[in-house]
Amino acid sequence: MRKWIDLFLFYATIIIIFSGIVLYIMPHGRVAYFTGWKFLGIDKDGWDNLHVIFGFFMVIVAIWHIVVNWRALKKYLFLQKESVFALLIIALVSIGTIKNIQPFKSVSDLEEYIKNSWEVSKSEIPIAHGELLSLKDFCDKLNIPLNQATDILKEKGIKFNVNETLKEIANKNNLTPVKIYEIIKPKKNSNFQNVKFIPGSGIGKMTLSDFCKKYGCNVNETIKTLKSKGINAKKTQTLREIAEDNKITPIDIVKIITKYN
């Protein structure tokens, strides 16, 4: 009996650890879904499901383990000082994580840095979970003429229906939603032309320096422009941090930057 428990726990732990690492380093959902991100041929939902199912599996096996070993475990729980120290450590880690204090905050910050590195360096995500919008609604939200988009898709030999989601169109044509977007988005004469910034698109997590680099504006001039509007900003701050310090929203900051660039 104990042999089976140990083997199940061993293999399930390996899967939980590996899937946990993948979930830790994978891009944010809006990026993973829109770009069709995969690792070892498995997409974000696949890794999520794998982690959750084996989490439940480990709970079942752990309960089985407690039942089988309850007599010995009872001694550890109630008659050993180690039990008190273990409980205190668990409590400290839990509180530190919830309160987001060091050194636990560093773990969360590193995760955020890794996830954001995918977003900044890889692809433009114009709207959060845009892959779930129909082609018609997607074009409407981004001010892309629908007839122009459909003409381009037809020219590229892409099978679609305007009422299908970008994800459905992408899957049907062995593409990704971001590839569909790159095909239909208007050619820009300037970095800000035809770009429609929408809350939830992830720009709030970009530093001012990264934002200016991505959209071709001078960061020092941008800081001066913001200062002239009574907004203090540093190039290393995220747009969300600047917004919170000045009691406005990241979109308000973007509107000011795009107006003067």
User: DSSP character for 247?
Assistant: T
Bigger pLDDT: 261 vs 8: 8
Handedness of CA 106, 108, 109, 115 (dihedral sign): positive
Q: How far apart are CA 157 and CA 38, in angstroms?
A: 25
Region 37-47: mean pLDDT is 89
The two most distant CA atoms of the chain are separated, in Å, by 76
How do residues 137-177 score in pLDDT, each as one tens digit?
A: 998 888 888 888 898 898 889 999 999 999 899 989 988 88
Decide: helix, strand or coil at residue 246.
coil
Query: Token digits for 4?
Result: 């089976």
Residue 190 has pLDDT above 50, yes or no: no
Nearest Cα neighbor of 123 from 173, 166, 190, 176 is 176
Average pLDDT, the chain: 83
pLDDT band with cut points at 50, 70 and 90 for residue 121: very low
